[in-house]
A = this chain, B = another copy of it.
Amino acid sequence: MTGLDRFSVNQMTVRQLSLPELVAACAESGIGKVGLWREPVQAYGLRETAALVRSAGLEVTTLCRGGFLTATAPAERAAALADNRLAVREAAALGTDTLVLVSGGLPPGGKDLGAARERVADALAELAPYAEEHGVRLAVEPLHPMFAADRCVVSTLAQALDLAERFPAHQVGVAVDTYHVWWDDQAPAQIARAGAGGRIHAFQLADWTTPLPAGVLNGRGRLGDGSIDLRAWCGRVAAAGYTGPVEVEIFNEDLWARDGREVLKETAELFLEHAGG
């Protein structure tokens, strides 16, 4: 397919495919970019994955994901930092310059979102220079406010930028995912702010469909199936100066139940229809 130069498929969209299957399916569909996840990469082997994508000429656009930096207990906090340093090294080994961070939720019994965000800032201060040494930049991803308690205390692009701007742009930026920010009337201005600062380090697409499933994690919509004006959001990041890859990242049980190669091909087609060109 033509028009897929900037298209990247996030591994989660077709998580039913093994890494060799994913690489083969990308070749079949003319897809040159993938966003990878740590767990399947670790399961297949970091070195093996790096060799596999390199030999196929696939570009790794992001590694998902580090983060979960909100613990208060010192041992838990130290473990999280160590794990994020490992994630940085994994990103470097895979040849991607971008590690996406999901901040983490409130600690057990916790009720203070602002204090949790400050712990994220403290962790970034330790991780950002380490990442730079490895040629990796951190992308703080705001998740939809429905995840504020249990997954990510950073709910808006404004909050993500408030964190990122404490550091140089080549160390820390943000990940813009339409699924998480589409409802936010402040997001367009924040995208402009992020672009002006050179801080849009990743851009991801998924559509918003309802009803949400239990747990609300795996109900993202295929491009065009939902309520998000995807082309308008693509235009906003473009107007902010972003020219990088556009990752499609969809968590959806129905898609995972289907043939992965078919889903990949369809995802690329829907990208062209709703976001490309």
Contact = CB atoms under 8 A, between A and B. Distances in A.
Interface of A: 106, 110-114, 144-146, 148-150, 155-156, 159, 182-185, 208, 210-216, 226-229, 232
A144 to B, nearest CB: 7
B212 A146 contact: yes
Copies of this chain, count: 2
B150 A210 contact: yes
A-B interface, 7 closest residue pairs, ranked by CB to CB distance from nearest: A149-B227, A148-B183, A145-B183, A214-B214, A146-B146, A111-B229, A150-B210
28 contacts: A106-B227, A110-B227, A111-B227, A111-B228, A111-B229, A112-B229, A113-B185, A114-B185, A144-B146, A145-B145, A145-B146, A145-B183, A145-B184, A146-B146, A146-B212, A146-B216, A148-B182, A148-B227, A149-B183, A149-B226, A150-B210, A155-B184, A159-B185, A211-B215, A212-B214, A213-B214, A214-B214, A216-B216
Contacts of A183: 113, 145, 148-149, 155
Contacts of A150: 210-211
Given A149-B208, A150-B211, A212-B216, 11 more contacts: A106-B227, A111-B228, A113-B183, A145-B146, A145-B183, A146-B212, A146-B216, A149-B183, A156-B185, A213-B214, A214-B214
A111 B184 CA distance: 13
Contacts of A227: 106, 110-111, 148-149
Contacts of A210: 149-150
Contacts of A156: 185
A210 to B, nearest CB: 4
Nearest to A231: B111
A60 B182 CA distance: 37
A31 to B, nearest CB: 27
Nearest to A226: B149
Nearest to A210: B150
Contacts of A184: 145, 155
Task: Please indicate which of the listed interface residues A144, A145, A232 has the most CB atoms of chain B within 10 Å of its own CB.
Answer: A145
Contacts of A159: 185
Contacts of A229: 111-112
A121 to B, nearest CB: 14
A229 B116 CA distance: 14
Nearest to A151: B210
